[in-house]
Structures are given as C-alpha cells and as structure tokens.
C-alpha cells in the first residue's frame, strides 16, 4: 500500500505523531477468492465481527486521534448491512471515506444510500481486462460484469472512481488493456500494484511470480501511457520488490502513518501483521484506540529505527524505507526484526533473488483460492529458514 | 494568470475534495482520494473563498482587506493556478 499522505515533519521529540489513515476491514467475508488476497490466512468468522456500535465508536476515537482518511474495506464491505451507518459514523467523525469493493452487490439503490450517508469515493478491484480471465483469477463467475456495472453507477453518481489492480504473472501482459479499461470505465486513478508475497500471495507465489521480462515490458507500457494520460488518469505503479533490490517503505513506517482495524477489533500496524506470531496485537474491545497507537507494545515494536538490526542500523536509507516490510522479513526468515530480504544489502537477499530469477514452469501450478479453510489452521505455512549471518 | 482570467475565473473546489480544519494538527487540509495535502500558512483561508461565486480578483481583494500588508496580489493568483493544475480547483 502506498502512503496516503504528503509527508509532514515529525512532532516534538518524544511524542508519537498521530495517524493519518485507518484501514477498516469490516468483514473478511467476500464473494471473490483472489489468490493474492491481503487478508490473513486465518480469516475472521462473521460471528466475531465488531457491531455497528463498536465501529461507530472506533471511528469516533479515530477522528479524535487525528485520522482523516479511511478505507472501508474487507473482504467485501458491502456484505455489512450496516455499511451506511458506518459511513455516516466516519463522516460524523470528520473522516473522508473511501469504499474498497469488488463491486459485487453494488446496485443503484445501495450506492444512493451510501452517498446519502456521506460516502466520498469508491475503489473497485479489477483482476484482468478480459472478463473470462478476470472471473478465473477472482474465482467467481460473472464478477467482471458486476464490476463493469458498478463502475458505471459510481461515475453516474459523480463520485471519484479508482481501479485497484494487483499485477502478477497472469495479468502483467495485459497491463495496456487494463489501463485502457480504466479509461473506458471513467476511472480517475488506476493503481497497478505488483503482487506482494506474504499470506495468500506467498502461498501462491509459484503461480503468481512474474518474469523480469514481463515486468520490464509492463513498466515501459505504464510509463508511455502515463505521459499520454497526464492530467486525466492518475497511473500509480507499486514496485515489485522481489525484483528491485530495494525494500519498499512499507506502510510509510511501522506505526507512523496508518493503522488497520481487523473485523474483530484487533488493531494492527498493517493488514499483514496478524501473521507475526508473537505480536499480541491489542483490540479495541479492551483498550482505547489512542492508548493502542501511542503505548501498546505492538505499535512500538518496530517504530522508529532503534529496533533495527544488520545492515539497516547504519544505513543512510533507514529513514526512507524504514527497513522494509516486517511481515516479509518474518515470512522469509522467521525473524521479523531482520532486514527485509528484498533489500540487496540483506544477508538473506537470496531468498527473493533466487525465486525471482529461477526458471518458470511453463504451466503454473493451480491457485490456492482464498476461502475459509483453504489452509488448515493446524498446519500454517512455515517460513523458509534464513541463512546464518 | 492574465488580468482577464483573474476577472473571469471563479475557482471552486473539485467535487471529490474536502477542505477541513484539523484540530489535532492545527492545520488546514485538502482531503482527496488517497491523498491529504497540508495547506501552509493562509492556504486554507484562500481555498475557503473558492466557492465558485468569487473571481480571482475578488478573492485577492477580500484577502488584501483581511491581511493588510501581505503580498496577496503577487502570490494568490499563482497559488490558485497551481491548485488548478493539480486538478483540485475547477
């Protein structure tokens, strides 16, 4: 995820600058089954979800804490029958709302009631420019058609429309057609985010990992189209960190810019952090959001630069990339405090370089689609072991 | 910006944008999809006058009364123009 804000100088020494943004995962239920889903492998049951009143209180607290932006996401947030009330609660708290949806279940009446509640913008996921390929990647028939209808409704309602595309082996060659789709559907912004490999994405890495050639062609296309579309459609390219030798500034720093509230009220520094086994993340059911942000061990664990190990410690880039992604460091090395292996300076860099440069099977393995029970909780995906040193 | 434009353009915030004061940070913000822009100095006061009814010349005149001695005639038209180029003002 890209940092949603213009950076501003940090607050006075010793104080924790307030968060700008909140990702509200309203539910993990979803009609789609994308194999790179950013939800954790262990999905939260619907019976454990926060109530309307609890979300209302979370958003009120978030506004008081300094949050100005929220992504109302999931799973599929439209599956919450109280979504209108949650939008209204965000609006009442002064928070700008962005609905992140698959488009399935959005009709004219629903959009009208959401807009009346104060919804400000919509982001629609798109899996491929070709309807059949899109439905195959999403694991749901007719999902592409639902997206096309949803895009038209959003435009007719006059709301800003963004398309969110996760790029991987199966759709990178269609990047030109995806951009064209964004233009045809009237999008203001198209986010082309190369797949990140933890959680579901790591489970499906052998199927999703592109080749360097594919990436080079896609990048060239994006740069060419960006020039043509300047001032009309904002094209955002989120870098494929396995291939760059440079770690991404994940979340703009741990506990620096934004927080994630999971469906059951667990509060995380990023949506993937549920994968860290010893984080003991706090929950809004036990603690005020301000305490969680400022004082919880989970949010202070990797805040700033003091925790850094290995090459990060003295690195001139440590304030730019914040050591990269903690969840990727854990997923690949078993130690969340190590330098992100995506960085060429990491002693574990081979853990991304080798798969990135390995030959690809002509026929990729089938997807493990994201659905409850796809990965038995008793047999979690084991992190690969790091090399010593 | 030509004097002619300054008399004819009545800037207004693009529909997707929200101008709000942020009491936590003591700052005026422009909020839009995926972005928050922190307005510096009197930027919030300037944008607050962009309601689609005032011309640029009118905005400059009001600000000159409100902030006597400030170089509004020299800076405000260029500031508004930069916001228009970002697509934030229509």
Chain A residues touching B20 at Cβ < 8 A? 68, 94
Question: What is the pLDDT at residue B87?
Answer: 86
At A15 the pLDDT is 75
Q: What is the pLDDT of residue A389?
A: 34
Rounded Cα gap, residues B72 and B64, in angstroms: 6
Instruction: Map tokens 């409850």 to a residue.
Output: A372
Locus of tokens 């060659």: A173
- What is the reported pLDDT for A382? 52
pLDDT at residue number A367? 97
CB-based contact A177:A185 (threshold 8 Å): no
CB contact under 8 A, A96 and B15: no
Q: What angle do CA A70, A75, A80 make, to 5 degrees?
A: 75
Q: What pLDDT score was predicted for residue A386? A: 47
The two structure tokens encoding residue B60? 């400059």
Confidence of residue A373 (pLDDT cuts 50, 70, 90): confident
Whether the full predicted model's pTM is greater than 0.95, yes or no, is no
Measured between its terminal Cα atoms, the distance across chain B in Å is 15
Q: What is the pLDDT, as a whole number, of residue B33?
A: 93
Average pLDDT, chain B: 92
Residue ranges in chain B whose pLDDT is less than 70: 1, 3-4
Burial of A73 (0-12, 13-18, 19+ CB in 10 A): buried
Confidence of residue A7 (pLDDT cuts 50, 70, 90): very low
| Beta carbons of A6 and B29 less than 8 Å apart | no
Residue A5, pLDDT above cutoff 70: no
B26 neighbourhood in chain A, CB within 8 Å: none
Rounded mean pLDDT of A148-172? Answer: 97
Cα angle B55-B56-B61, degrees, rounded to a multiple of 5? 95
* pLDDT tens digits along A198-216: 999 999 999 999 999 999 9
The predicted pLDDT at position A14 comes to 54
pLDDT band at A374 (very low <50, low <70, confident <90, very high): confident
CB A36 within 8 A of CB A195: yes
Quote the pLDDT of residue A11: 44
Tens of pLDDT along A140-152?
999 999 999 999 9
Look over chain A and give the mean of its residue pLDDT values, rounded to a whole number.
Answer: 92
Average pLDDT over residues A233-254: 93
Q: Is the pLDDT of residue A338 over 60?
A: yes
A91 vs B: CB within 8 A? no
Residue A6, pLDDT > 60, answer no
The structural architecture, per CATH, of the domain B3-86 is Alpha-Beta Complex (3.90)
| A202 φ, ψ (degrees, to nearest 5) | -70, -40
Mean pLDDT of the A171-177 span: 98
Complex prediction ipTM: 0.89
pLDDT surpasses 50 at A49: yes
A120 to chain B: which residues are within 8 Å by CB?
16, 18, 33
User: Is A96 within 8 Å of chain B by CB?
Assistant: yes
Do B33 and A5 count as a contact with CB atoms less than 8 A apart?
Answer: no
C-beta neighbour count of B27 within 10 angstroms: 16
Alpha-carbon gap, residue A2 to B85, rounded angstroms: 23
Q: How far apart are CA A225 and CA A46, in angstroms?
A: 42
**Listed residue (A128, A240, A213, A207) closest to A175, CA to CA:** A128
Q: How many CB atoms lie within 10 A of CB B68?
A: 8
């Amino acid at each position: 995820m890209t940092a949603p804000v213009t950076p501003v100088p940090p607050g006075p020494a010793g104080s924790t600058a307030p968060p700008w943004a909140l990702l509200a995962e309203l539910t993990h239920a979803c009609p789609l089954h994308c194999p790179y889903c950013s939800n954790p492998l262990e999905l939260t049951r619907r019976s454990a979800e926060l109530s309307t009143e609890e979300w209302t209180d979370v958003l009120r607290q978030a506004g008081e804490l300094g949050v100005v932006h929220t992504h109302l996401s999931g799973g599929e947030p439209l599956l919450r029958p109280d979504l209108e009330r949650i939008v209204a609660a965000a609006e009442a708290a002064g928070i700008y709302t962005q609905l992140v949806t698959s488009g399935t279940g959005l009709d004219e009446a629903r959009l009208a009631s959401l807009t009346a509640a104060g919804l400000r913008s919509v982001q629609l996921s798109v899996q491929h420019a070709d309807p059949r390929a899109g439905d195959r990647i999403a694991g749901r028939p007719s999902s592409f058609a639902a997206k096309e209808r949803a895009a038209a409704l959003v435009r007719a309602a006059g709301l800003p429309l963004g398309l969110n595309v996760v790029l991987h082996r199966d759709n990178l060659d269609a990047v030109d057609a995806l951009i064209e789709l964004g233009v045809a559907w009237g999008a203001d912004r198209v986010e082309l985010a190369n797949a990140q490999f933890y959680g579901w994405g790591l489970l499906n890495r052998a199927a999703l990992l592109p080749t360097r050639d594919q990436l080079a062609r896609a990048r060239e296309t994006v740069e060419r189209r960006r020039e043509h579309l300047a001032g009309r459609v904002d094209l955002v390219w989120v870098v494929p960190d396995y291939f760059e030798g440079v770690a991404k500034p994940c979340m703009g720093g741990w506990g620096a810019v934004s927080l994630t509230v999971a469906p059951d009220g667990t509060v995380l520094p990023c949506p993937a952090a549920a994968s860290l086994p010893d984080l003991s993340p706090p929950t809004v059911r036990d603690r005020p959001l301000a305490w969680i942000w400022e004082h919880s061990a989970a949010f202070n664990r990797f805040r700033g630069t003091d925790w850094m190990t290995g090459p990060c410690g003295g690195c001139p880039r440590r304030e730019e990339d914040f050591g990269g992604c903690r969840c990727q460091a854990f997923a690949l090395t078993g130690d969340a405090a190590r330098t992100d292996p995506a960085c060429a300076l990491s002693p574990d860099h081979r853990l991304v370089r080798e798969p990135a440069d390995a030959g690809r099977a002509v026929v990729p393995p089938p997807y493990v689609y994201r659905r409850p029970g796809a990965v038995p909780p008793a047999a979690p995906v084991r992190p690969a072991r790091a090399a010593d040193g | 910006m030509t004097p002619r434009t300054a008399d004819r353009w009545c800037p207004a915030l693009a529909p997707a944008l929200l101008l709000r004061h942020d009491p936590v940070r003591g700052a005026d913000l422009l909020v839009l999809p995926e972005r928050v822009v922190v307005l510096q100095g009197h930027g919030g006061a300037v944008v607050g006058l962009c309601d689609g009814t005032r011309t640029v010349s009118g905005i400059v005149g009001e600000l000159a009364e409100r902030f006597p001695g400030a170089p509004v005639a020299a800076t405000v038209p260029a500031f508004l123009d930069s916001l228009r180029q970002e697509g934030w003002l229509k």
